[in-house]
Structure 1
Amino acid sequence: MDLDDSLGIRKLLDTARQLQQDLARSQDELRGTSAQGTAGGGAVKVTIDGRGALQNLAISPVVADPGNAQGLADLIVSAVRAAQETMATRHEERLVPLLEALRADLRPFTD
């Protein structure tokens, strides 16, 4: 398709506008979600929001031994990473299809 074609340009602009709206809507929806991560067989549980900020931390008394501060710290870091991986997967599942649709819509302009 030739970019000089006014219908082609209009379709390209409509596609870009729709993608912008879809991305904004998806980002808003993802910001409103949360993800949980656990470590130590559930002894440490965290919840993060859609932006990745820590919202909640629960530690079982079993692992709250003052003599094992480093072990507890490692469990907390592990639980946070697990929650972040879950959130990253959700972002990917939501945004990749939008980008693939854009690629398909732009294909006529790249031929």
Structure 2
Amino acid sequence: MRPGGQPNMQQMLKQAQKMQRQLEEAQAELAAAEVTGSAGGGMVTATVTGSGELTALAIDPKVVDPDDVETLADLVIAAVRSASDEAKKLAEQKMGPVTGGLGGLAGGLGL
């Protein structure tokens, strides 16, 4: 702060620009990263990007039972949910250092 209690606007602008660059870098890393979740002991696996986009789904043929489609659907949902949870953890890990210093302001800015 300057004498008289006024913040240095140029310094604040520089800091905001630096934070914006860090945020963009973290978002790019998340978009490029992939995480996998599984269910049924690995019988169903789902892969999502760090930003949460489903990119792959693998189903072991042993789990396919035409008379029990509900179980397969449950396993798919569980695998996708598991992968999404991993993506959220990765996002928190990547974005936390960038947005952590903003406190409550980060949410208000949509960061």
Which residues of structure 1 form unaligned runs of 5+?
104-111
Q: Which has the higher helix share?
A: 1
The percent of aligned pairs where both chains have the same amino acid is 36
1:15·1:102 contact (CA, 8 Å) conserved in 2?
Answer: no
Aligned residues: 100
TM-score, normalising length: structure 2: 0.82
| TM-aligned CA deviation for residue 100 of structure 1 | 2.5
Q: Secondary structure at the match of 2:88?
A: helix
Match of 2:25 in 1: 25
Q: Which structure has more RCO (C-alpha within 8 Å, separation ≥ 6)?
A: 1
CA distance in 2, matches of 1:19, 1:88: 21
Q: Secondary structure at the match of 1:45?
A: strand
CA distance in 2, matches of 1:46, 1:100: 30
Q: Secondary structure at the match of 1:67?
A: coil
Structure 1 outlier segments of 4+, above 6 Å: none
Tell me, yes or no, if structure 1 residue 65 matches structure 2 residue 65: yes
Which residues of structure 2 form unaligned runs of 5+?
104-111
2:51·2:91 contact (CA, 8 Å) conserved in 1?
Answer: no
